[in-house]
Amino acid sequence: MQPLAADEPTAVGPYRLLGRLGSGGMGRVYLGRSAGGRTVAVKIVHPHYAFDEEFRARFRREVDAARRVGGAWTAPVLDADPEAPVPWVATAYAAGPSLAAAVASGGPLPEHTVRVLGAGLAEALTAVHELGLVHRDVKPSNVLLTVDGPLLIDFGIARAADGTASLTSSGVSIGSPGYMSPEQILGKGVTGAADVFSLGAVLAYATMGEPPFPGDSSAALLYKVVHEQPELSAMSGELREVAEACLTKTPEARPAPGELARRLAPEGAARLVAAGWLPGALVEQVSRSAVQLLNLESTEVTPSGPVGFSRAAVGEFGPAPEMPGPGTVVPGPPRGASTAVPALEDVPPPRYAGAPTAVPEPRDAPPAERSPGKVSVSVAATSAPGEGGRGRRVSCTVALAVAGALAAVAVGMGFLVRPLIGGNDDAGGDTAADPPASSAFATPGDGTAPTAVPSRYLGTWEGQGTALDGNLPIGTFRLTVHRAGAGEELGRLVQTDQLGGTCTDVLTLKKVTRTQLVATSVGAKTNHDGCDPTPHAVQLTPVGDDLKYTSDSSAEGNPTSRMSRVD
């Protein structure tokens, strides 16, 4: 478990977060504790999914499905909020490493342990399939090894097997390369037989210490799963026979999970677990983990992450408050403070060292827009790139329904946020007030438009980005501009989202005018699918000594940022 970073939430819903357990393609997983002392695993999806209505619909349905799974060898869903600004789900926490971690640190597992593992997972899949569900992502990292037996976790991408409409994007396979069934990869109908294929791959990995379809790229793994036979030379006896039966390319030829459970443990997995099933080294590791969990700091702190309000708090967006500038020290929360989620009317304005008692109004907001009673949404935005630099863009679909949901939430002020100044300046830049002659951005004295990038634009700039007409903070924007001619690379923009992930845009200069630079922005090839790859126009406009970035990407909510020079 990793400690919480400064830009990570300390509470989600009714749960206080103690540390980060890990992260994946869908979100981050935290260790949490309820007010009553129960320890849970809280999974928070990546922010960009929150703006995709299609994902929300799938997440909502899959949480409902996961609630129905409560049999042995699975981690039950205890709580969830699919309607939260950033959806989350909480499951029972079990002390023990994942199968992936156990094998990576200690090598292949003993044959007896693998037999119990297979029997327990097969019984779990039997219960899941009887409910008409398919897990769809059985893999070593989704299997926990506890003293009380194996646990199958993460039903976040399971869906009802009798669903008539696929809620995933066309051409997108859900699952993990090397453990997905051939029919999943090919986009054919997925049944419980797909989970059986994945189970066979998991048993092979546990026995051999490496997957049955090795490869150094996703493409190679997917090809081998579809066209080649698994490499099981290091397996022998009944476990090899079971793995081969599970890894058959034809779904109909694979055994049912109930049949596998009876073959591996005729008297049931529970009897084998009760007799002791983990090797000594793993038992010691699990025991240490349990002791460390009990010794975790239990002092309550004030939530600084997304804090949910009551349903009655839904209102309209107001302009984001202007925050103190860089360098202002934000005091940490007092020890011993309550973790109770406040109602909207109980939330005081954020306080900063040296700041007035009232939140200042946005500098550029007209009087009509400064009326009280509007909910302003501010998200902590100063964060570092996450592991692997996997960032997230604002949205796949920006919809009014999302704005309505976000209006029900205020975000904790436990972070230092740059001022969101510039208001609703016109994106075109031509209507912006001309800077004074003494400004670093003074225009040429002869009034002619420059033919090359003026030196006033060069350097590195940084500021906070917003979307949806300034109502939605979307992270830190950092832009480096260098000399370029039309058609040449002007610079690169790196957006860091609220969970520390990044997306990079490459800006190609289109033209230079007296008042702005116009460029075409395209996502870098190294970006993942969460970043917007669609080319769009951007403008860089001097505003005082700052530089304003505006984008016409409607898919991202037309993001803007007023940036200050940092280099």
Asked whether the whole model's pTM tops 0.75, one would answer no
Q: Please, where in the chain does CATH 1.10.510.10 lie? A: 11-294
Six token digits for residue 290? 């349990």
Looking at residue 560, what is its pLDDT?
A: 92
Helix%, strand%, coil% for the chain, nearest 5:
25, 20, 50
Looking at residue 294, what is its pLDDT?
A: 67
As annotated, the active-site residues are 137
- Residue 408 CA neighbour count, 13 Å, CB half: 16
Looking at residue 1, what is its pLDDT?
A: 73
- Which CATH number fits the domain 11-294, given the four candidates 1.10.510.10, 3.30.1330.10, 3.40.190.10, 2.100.10.30? 1.10.510.10
Specify burial of residue 448 (Cβ count, 10 A radius: 0-12, 13-18, 19+).
exposed
Looking at residue 471, what is its pLDDT?
A: 66
CA neighbor of 473 nearest in space, from 85, 25, 89, 10: 85
- Over the chain (567 residues), the average pLDDT of each successive run of 10 is 84 92 80 89 86 84 79 83 90 88 93 96 93 89 92 66 37 66 89 96 96 87 93 95 97 96 94 92 82 59 36 31 43 43 39 38 40 34 37 38 36 31 36 37 50 89 83 82 92 78 89 93 82 88 92 84 88
Enumerate the known binding-site residues.
43
Looking at residue 439, what is its pLDDT?
A: 40
Run of H or E residues at 285: helix 280-294
Looking at residue 430, what is its pLDDT?
A: 38
Enumerate the known binding-site residues for ATP.
43
Specify burial of residue 312 (Cβ count, 10 A radius: 0-12, 13-18, 19+).
exposed
Q: What is the distance between the alpha carbons of residues 263 and 301, in angstroms, rounded to a whole number? A: 50
